[in-house]
Amino acid sequence: MSPIKVGLLGLGVVGGGTWKVLNQNADEITRRAGRRIEVVAVAVRDVEKARALVGDQVQITTDGMDIVRNPEIDVVVELVGGETLAKDWVMEAIAQGKHVVTANKALLANHGNAIFAAAQEKNVMVAFEAAVAGGIPIIKAMREGLTANRIQWVAGIINGTTNFILSEMRSRGLSFADALADAQRLGYAEADPTFDIEGVDAAHKLSLLASLAFGIPVQFSKAHIEGITTLAAEDIAHAERLGYTVKLLGITRARKNGIELRVHPTLVPSSSMLANVQGAMNAVMVYGDAVGPTVYYGAGAGELPTASAVVADLVDVARLLTADHDHRVPYLAFQHNAMADTPILPMADIQSAYYLRLRVEDRPGVLADISRILAESQISIGSMFQEPAVNDETDIIFLTHEAREGDIEAAIERIQSLDFVRSPVTRLRVEEL
């Protein structure tokens, strides 16, 4: 059988890893795919650097359009990132009738609906396992392995940079700034880490997982996003004292009136699996009504782990190349004409338990006033403790039972107006999972 001919857009960390995996495991990949997978052309910025890696056996160009319009190429693998050139190249590849493999979560989070619609029209495949959680096969698990289930919720640590920072803050008692500096020194964080530490990268990935879980269009713009930049070391320590660990989680959950789609720092029980995911590793929990909770753990980034997912997609394309389009696995797990228009819930309507920390004047009646406001807001207190007073001020920490976010926000606004409150109330969400 003739080989699958591949064009690589980008030969950086992931592109270089994809080249290495395809070559070092060529025989094993051929046995699995049923035919050889050959890279015949690459588009790069630095031709000399690319030539040193791929040698003379591969066409090298600096224009991605040379790849997507090459009639010999069957599959275009987009590994350049970003949303401008990448979108143009992917859409043109689809227009040319080529299958696409991409690791670009930002591209799919913002333009996935248009890309999948175009691919459906042209009867081509778009595979994106590497776009979420690196080498963890979470996309395949949700698209295929869990199809018998009505998914109830998905929660995951899907950004390794923030997980490394939070692990350092917890284990070493570092401030956020010091932990970030360590992450940058060790190569876990970019020079500009904004997308990671502000939660945007995780939200890109979560929007794709929500679509796979619930059969809805990709709706990144409706995700609630909070990062970890304002997280205080003292709150991590307080959480530990209460039996919790703070993680940046992406959470999507089906409710009767809509779907939650949110990324934020979250207290999870210290005995839970997610709490014990350390360093730059990723983990995703999926709860299906038939199977119950399932957990997927592994390297969420890196040259070879991400390349593993890219090559797995290429093998899938090779296997399904001759299959009728209507009998291939749908892009977002559900048939394209069966997608739901279930609304994304505003944050005011989500349900969660809460951690509240208040710095207050140490005087009689403070606790009674705060408790009264919480009770009037239909918020039940699960537990609380008070720190020893320093300079006539003290911290009071509450854990609430599950409540509506809008009620919590209203209560916090009332509490902060009290004359004995000395600083803004710290609020973190708590998930037992």
Q: Write out the catalytic residue numbers.
A: 205
Structure tokens at 193: 């880490």
- 199 vs 190: CA distance, rounded Å: 14
Residue pair 420/363 in contact (Cβ under 8 Å)? The answer is yes
Nearest CA among 364, 428, 429, 356 for reference residue 395: 356
Per-residue b or e along 319-341, where b marks 16 or more CB atoms closer than 10 Å to that residue's CB:
ebbeeeeeebbbbbbbeeeebee
Per-residue b or e along 393-416, where b marks 16 or more CB atoms closer than 10 Å to that residue's CB:
ebbbbbbbeebbbebbebbbeebe
Question: Which residues, 6 or more positions from 344, have their beta carbon under 8 angstroms from its beta carbon?
Answer: 219, 222, 223, 258, 259, 260, 261
Question: Which residues are bridge partners to 354 per DSSP?
Answer: 429
- 399 vs 352: CA distance, rounded Å: 11
| Placement of tokens 């140490």 in the chain | 362
**Which region holds residue 232: left if phi is over 0, alpha if psi is between -120 and 50, else beta?**
beta
Structure tokens at 311: 């090559």
How would DSSP label each residue in 129-193?
A: GGGSSTTS-HHHIIIIITTTS-EEEEEEE--HHHHHHHHHHHHH---HHHHHHHHHHTTSS-SS-
10 Å Cβ neighbour count for 233? 16
- 127 vs 329: CA distance, rounded Å: 10
Question: Which residues, 6 or more positions from 112, have their beta carbon under 8 angstroms from its beta carbon?
Answer: 208, 211, 218
Residue pair 100/76 in contact (Cβ under 8 Å)? The answer is yes
Residue pair 415/233 in contact (Cβ under 8 Å)? The answer is no
How do strand 151-157 and strand 244-255 relate by DSSP bridges? antiparallel
Q: Which stretches does DSSP call E strand in 303-380?
A: 351-361
